Structure 1
């Protein structure tokens, strides 16, 4: 049940249905979802570890602000340094089952784009995160995996911009990476991932100021009904 609450909240956070800065109360959310407070608390704690929600002692939870432009820029710099190498190593390590898993994630993302409903926003972000996480896991570099996981890059990125065309472009780039991994071509995988990260940055950053402007307009004391 906490997974259901978590996915629902992810969708609302990514689509900005619950704006940055909004206060979240366990009791109100439990009533809205028709569940006890236990799964709501579990979902909120999970979201807090992922940087989407801020929890303060005796002050409850609130939605994290959109990270600064400097933060996003630095996140892309780190990803550009690490993820192409992870893709190259994945091409050397991946087995047939691993390739099938990556293609399955791409297929699931494609289906969400075809459905194109607002509730799919969060689900797409989760699958995008799972794709990149699976690929980094295949690098078999635990330190690299830990460093990239701490960025929570994908959840925050889709708070900037979600649109079917953006998602379709990302999926096609994912497929190019998987093709290179299946062919065990480390250099092509490296280049495909580097191109994907650069394209992602170019797609997302133009929308940064629009979203942060909305962020600044939300009262920090606003309670989510």
Structure 2
């Protein structure tokens, strides 16, 4: 199964035009410069970014796989509509079932090199300014990479696939409610990585469960 785009773009940092174009469109969606439901013109974005339509279509296909973009026959691409409050509740219910399991698996399976990558992501998130839509959009991309890497490292492709489309919608929903980097989240990330590094499956599972529950409370 393909590695989620957030992981490929942030943890591996490949110097490809397609990745740069993907990141540019992703940031516009997460910063609400492209609003939920808004049509995305391939030609217009290609002119704005100064590239051909090919990397634009490649990026939009990746974003479609992540659920951030949808393609309508004979119409084209548009940003996915914002989830409702009920849909967000359903999303968190799924996360509570799958992500603690993934964290437990990571305590047994995750290589030290990947743990170091998670620690680097935590440092990047800690270095962001606390306020504003732009800062939150940056936090959202780092947070997605963090959670996607845990899902991938659990060694269960079905879990990674199920979780791959969830996190972006959480962040988009929160952005439209209130922006600002949640400082508590980084402390929760650190506790989780500490448990994984200690190879303590019980503690890793509990830390992930607490993180998701607190994230849900922050929405409330």
- TM norm structure 1: 0.81
Which residue in 2 is equivalent to 1:43?
59
| Aligned counterparts of 1:7 and 1:14: Cα–Cα separation in 2 | 10
Unpaired runs of at least 5, structure 1: 207-225
For 2:77, the equivalent position in structure 1 comes to 61
1:121 to partner: Cα distance: 4.0
Aligned length: 201
Larger gyration radius, structure 1 or structure 2:
1
2:167 maps to 154
3-state SS in 1 of match to 2:78: strand
Shift of 1:189: 0.9
Please tell me whether residue 93 in structure 1 is matched to residue 144 in structure 2. no
Q: How does 1:1-225 map to 2 (within 5 A)?
A: 1-111=17-127, 113-114=128-129, 118-149=133-164, 152-162=165-175, 163-166=179-182, 168-204=183-219, 206=220
What are the ranges of 5 or more consecutive residues in structure 2 without an aligned counterpart? 1-16
Aligned counterparts of 2:57 and 2:136: Cα–Cα separation in 1 = 22
Question: Residue deviations 1:21-44, cap 9 Å, x none?
Answer: 211111111111122212111111
Q: Is the 8 A contact 1:7 1:123 kept in 2?
A: no
- Higher relative contact order (CA closer than 8 Å, sequence separation 6+): 1
Please report the RMSD computed on the Cα atoms of aligned residues, expressed in angstroms: 2.0
- State the distance in 1 between where 2:33 and 2:217 align: 24
Give the structure-2-normalised TM-score.
0.83
More deviation, 86-95/120-129: 120-129
